[in-house]
A and B are shown apart, each in its own frame.
Chain A
Amino acid sequence: MTTPATQLPTTAREAAPAQGAPIKELSDLAVLIGGQGGDGTLTVSDLLARYFRRRGLYVYTSRNVLSRIRGGHADSSVRASRDAIASLKPTVDLLVAFDKEALEFGRPELEADGFVLYDSSVFQTDLPNTFGFPFATMAGSQLGQPIYKNVTAYGVISVMMGFDPVLTRTVIEERFKRRGGEALEKNLKALEIGRRAGLDASEPMHRYSIVDGDAHDLRLLTGNQAVALGFVVGGGRFFAGYPITPATEIMEYLQRYLPSLHGVVRQAEDELAAINMVIGAAYAGARAMTSTSGPGLSLMTEGIGHAGAAELPVLVADCQRVGPSTGEPTRHEQSDVAHLAHIGHGDFPRVLIAPGTVDDCFYLTVDALNIAEKWRLPVILVLDQALCQNSSTVPGFDLTQVHLDRGKRLDPGEVAARPAYKYYEHTPDGASPFAPPGTVGITSQVTGNEHDEYGHVSVNPVNRVKMMRKRMEKLTQLEPELPLSRTYGDPKATVGFIGFGSTTGPIREAQERLLAKGQSTRFFQARTLFPVPARELTAFLEPLERAYVVEHNYVGQFAGLIREALPQYHAKLRSLVKYDGLPFRSPEIARVVEGG
């Protein structure tokens, strides 16, 4: 069926910009779309992201919603750039406001010469550089449903930014092709209504032109999706979890990916059940994971300690949000780090791995699975809301870089050739060989009580000391296999940054800003948080005059861990913390250096 929209002509006005309206060329731009939850702001940002990607630009998107299904202020933003980006742009070029609240929320972020596009059927404003269109009324009267106001607005945006009309339409077809029928047809009509209104407006609307980029064949993914994909290719086959923002998508993706691979995904009755189901599956020999956030992590602490004592390989993805308690479920923080480094009662080894980019989320999940299985201990993927839920363009994942290491896992033939099989056998490196239950000819005993090599409960003091050393020694032995940090910037710089997780993007951008002003810096992106990478940090800190530990919590938790491990650098370390629920933007980081 041919809809009127597919015959949309390119008008003379579009081809030749109206006189008197200067057109700004953008190679790094941000659009913020705000309104009430349910206004469809996410659809607009999705369409824009699709459009910009087809223009060869790198894209970074973020959303800001309240913890409720509908209503309340919600916004989403799209940044597109010729350069690879992994953070929000400090300012917004175009603000699209479906209600007055969105205008108030977004205006402080608006570039000095930025524009506002707003729904004049909802509110009016006399502010300069604002354009009102009655989006809801337009969609309501011409399409019968005001909900199409979002795509109508996209139509006006396409005029403002001088979009290619064919490509503008293509991304709508791409977005709605699966739903097809009426949804596709009406959205194409909504686009036409918006475009027509933009082209026919009394004021010239064409204000921007977008520079083409050369980033093609990239994927736009969130950290959560990349963790789920990494889990699958890393041989992860069992997942149990409990819905919690901002971790739930990991479970949802795995529900799609795992069933065709003899994998199992279960939504448990609570986080206690989730971690214990994972423990059971790990005992049986599966690569198993759960994902959660602060409140769920508190409940899982019991199970993580059990996995530590019983030497069971479990992987926990912790998508940090604002805490303590329920905190702010949809907002960003990195305040579980101290808890994670010391998680559980008693002493046992645990490893904290911190991906800093969507790319890292994929490859480091594989590493985490390898370390957990080989060393038979709990491993935690330390993630944060911005990393988990914001999306960025990354190159396709490369399977040739994926390697599985199952450690001392024994096949039935190897078991039969042994004189003995003991689940807690003492070995020089602390890791015991493993044969899953079901292996002919042997039985094993696994327990969270202190135990002897056979897994029988023991309170013998000599045995206790030997078993404690067996478990704790693993932390030293596994060190060479931990993900290495990455360093960026000038090796001769005297000022440094230390960060992890989603601060990687803004710190790197802050480095660029500072360099543009003649200030060179060096950045240590920690990809293992615990055991604290003391050797690498020593090499990094030694030549520096001072280093800022950049993190999202009140007390400077990671800085505390570093100080504990490397007290000699106490005087060099400074904390740059942010705990307002929002991710760092690069000027906030650059400023701390500029200020001395």
Chain B
Amino acid sequence: MVDSAKPIPSTWCPGCGDFGALAALKRAMAELKIPPHEAVLVGGIGCSGGIHNFLEINGLHALHGRLLAQAVGVKLANPKLNVVAVGGDGDGYAIGMGHFMHAFKKNASILYLVMMNETYGLTKGQAAPTAPLGYEGNIERPFDAILAALSQQMPNFVARTFSGDPKTLTRVLVEALEFNRANRGFAFIEDLSPCVTYNDTFKEWREKVLDLSTLPGYDATDRATMFRLYLETLRSGRIPIGVMHRPPPAAGEVESLELKLLPDRIGPAVTGIELEPNRETYQKLLAAVG
């Protein structure tokens, strides 16, 4: 047994919503029998981004807002790795917004789990892009990441969960990871994960969440239906959760970025780069230029 990086105790406040996500992620990985060495967790900057230290997994702690770009880089360099990016809503929807929207478009088979708490906990409670009007003097309306995700016609998996319901969260995580492992593309989960110190919304969210799959007419393969159900639920004062988009398997069509680029899933990080196996290719290339 080689001694290598082991999980360390978490630094989160007692009662933090992120514990629910951490437990669910552990369970989902175990259920799918993903060995720790085959998984990479790319963490953002913020409380949630430290999660890579708290479970047995390869960790890459990214720059603020840049976790998705780094995660896509990892996946394209070695498509056989399970790549999970985890960060907060400030990291993803403020400084990381450009990369966030492009992740849907890139459609690499990585999972992006956002722990959404409407606040910047680590810097002591400033308004996040998702903060409601009035929170810490916020005068801008909140950004809605699920609507943003639904607004694009991309074959991604999209869901929202509540960390107060770790059972459902585990089930959705398993589905998202399976989606990734089948090389079907990008999976995005926004987990409502309250900050007990600066914005304790546990009670309010527990009362208000409504799983759209319980509604008549629910069809996560149909974007227009989900848009309607989502907006109607919001209008009724509830918080929509559940799987928001579940693309039907496209018959024979390759959708994920890594399979389009590397059909045999042998990537830049694992291919032989020494001179010898490549000499002939190089010689041909050099003979053809200039």
Contact = CB atoms under 8 A, between A and B. Distances in A.
- Top 5 A-B residue pairs of the complex, sorted by shortest distance between their CB atoms: A280-B73, A219-B290, A235-B273, A237-B268, A276-B69
Interface string B46-70: 0000101100111111110010011
Contact of A445 (B37, B59, B98, B268): B59
Nearest to A439: B37
A221 B4 contact: no
A292 interface: no
A394 B35 CA distance: 51
B215 interface: no
B289 interface: yes
A94 to B, nearest CB: 24
A56 to B, nearest CB: 16
Q: Is the interface of B mostly helix, strand, loop or mixed?
A: mixed
Interface of B: 1-6, 8, 35-38, 40, 42, 50, 52-53, 56-63, 66, 69-78, 80-81, 98-99, 102, 261-262, 266-271, 273-275, 278-279, 281-283, 285-287, 289-290
Interface string A236-277: 011010000000000000000101111110101110111011
A72 to B, nearest CB: 28
Contacts, number: 235
Contacts of A262: 262, 266-268, 271
Contacts of A279: 62, 69-70, 73
A303 interface: yes
A283 B77 CA distance: 9
Contacts of A454: 4-6
B73 A277 contact: yes
A224 to B, nearest CB: 12
Contact of B286 (A282, A399, A437): A399
B286 A397 contact: yes
22 contacts: A232-B282, A237-B268, A259-B261, A268-B102, A269-B98, A272-B69, A272-B99, A279-B70, A283-B73, A284-B40, A285-B269, A302-B63, A397-B286, A403-B275, A419-B3, A421-B3, A422-B4, A438-B38, A440-B35, A443-B4, A445-B59, A454-B4
B124 to A, nearest CB: 18
B266 to A, nearest CB: 5
Interface residues on A, range: 35 or more
Contacts of A232: 282, 285
A456 interface: yes
A447 B5 CA distance: 13
A284 B5 contact: no
B272 to A, nearest CB: 9
B103 to A, nearest CB: 10
B2 A284 contact: no
B56 A283 contact: no
B69 A280 contact: yes
A272 B96 CA distance: 10
Contacts of B35: 440
B69 A441 contact: no
A439 B282 CA distance: 29
B58 A437 contact: yes
Contacts of A420: 2-4
A288 interface: yes
A445 B78 contact: no
A277 B70 contact: yes
A273 B69 contact: yes
A442 B77 contact: no
B72 to A, nearest CB: 6
Contacts of A125: none
A520 interface: no
A225 B290 contact: yes
A448 B290 contact: no
B77 A281 contact: yes
